C-alpha cells in the first residue's frame, strides 16, 4: 500500500512538472512575442507602412476627383464626337480601376489598424517628427 502511495505521488509530481514546464514554455513564448512586436524597429516599420499607405490612399482620392471632373466636363458637351465618346469610356474604365485599387488598399489599412499587434497605432504619442495622427480607418469605400 505504501509503495502504491509513493508511486501515485511520483506520477502526480511528474505530471505537475510537465504542466509547469508547458506553462513556462507558453509564458516564455508569449514574452518573446511581446518583445519582438514592441521592438522599436518593428514599431517604426509598421508606422511607416501606415504612413505610406495613407499617402497612397490620399493620392488615389485626388486621382478619383480629377477623373470625375474630367468626366463631368466632357459630359456637359452636347453631341459628343466618336473620339470624345471613346475618351469618356476610357476615363470611366480608368476611374473604376482607381476606385477598385483604392478599396483594396483601404481594406488592408482598415484590417491592419484593427489587429491587436498593430494596436500601438491607436494609442500613445506620435513619433518624433510626426505632425498628425493616422486616421483610424478609411471608409466608406468608394463606388463608381
What are the tens digits of pLDDT across the range 97-121? Answer: 999 999 999 999 888 887 766 655 5
| Buried/exposed code over 44-71 (b: 16+ C-beta within 10 A; e: otherwise) | eebbeebeebbeebeebeebbeebeeeb
The pLDDT assigned to 141 comes to 60
pLDDT category at 53 given cuts 50, 70, 90 is: very high
Q: Please determine, for residue 42, whether its predicted confidence score (pLDDT) is greater than 90.
A: no
Nearest to 98 by CA among 74, 68, 72, 134: 68
Q: What is the pTM of this model?
A: 0.64
**Long-range contacts of 24-30, Cβ-Cβ distance < 8 Å, separation of 24 or more:** none
Helix, coil or strand: residue 77: coil
**Interhelix angle 82-114/40-75, nearest 10 degrees:** 160
Amino acid at each position: 500500500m505504501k509503495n502504491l502511495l509513493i508511486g501515485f505521488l511520483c506520477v502526480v509530481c511528474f505530471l505537475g512538472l510537465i504542466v509547469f514546464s508547458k506553462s513556462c514554455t507558453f509564458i516564455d513564448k508569449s514574452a518573446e512575442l511581446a518583445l519582438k512586436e514592441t521592438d522599436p524597429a518593428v514599431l517604426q516599420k509598421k508606422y511607416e507602412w501606415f504612413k505610406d499607405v495613407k499617402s497612397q490612399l490620399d493620392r488615389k482620392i485626388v486621382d478619383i476627383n480629377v477623373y470625375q471632373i474630367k468626366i463631368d466636363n466632357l459630359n456637359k458637351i452636347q453631341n459628343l464626337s466618336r473620339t470624345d465618346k471613346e475618351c469618356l469610356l476610357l476615363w470611366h474604365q480608368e476611374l473604376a480601376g482607381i476606385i477598385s485599387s483604392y478599396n483594396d488598399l483601404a481594406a488592408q489599412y482598415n484590417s491592419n489598424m484593427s489587429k491587436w499587434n498593430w494596436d500601438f497605432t491607436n494609442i500613445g504619442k506620435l513619433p518624433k517628427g510626426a505632425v498628425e495622427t493616422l486616421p483610424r480607418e478609411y471608409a466608406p469605400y468608394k463606388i463608381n
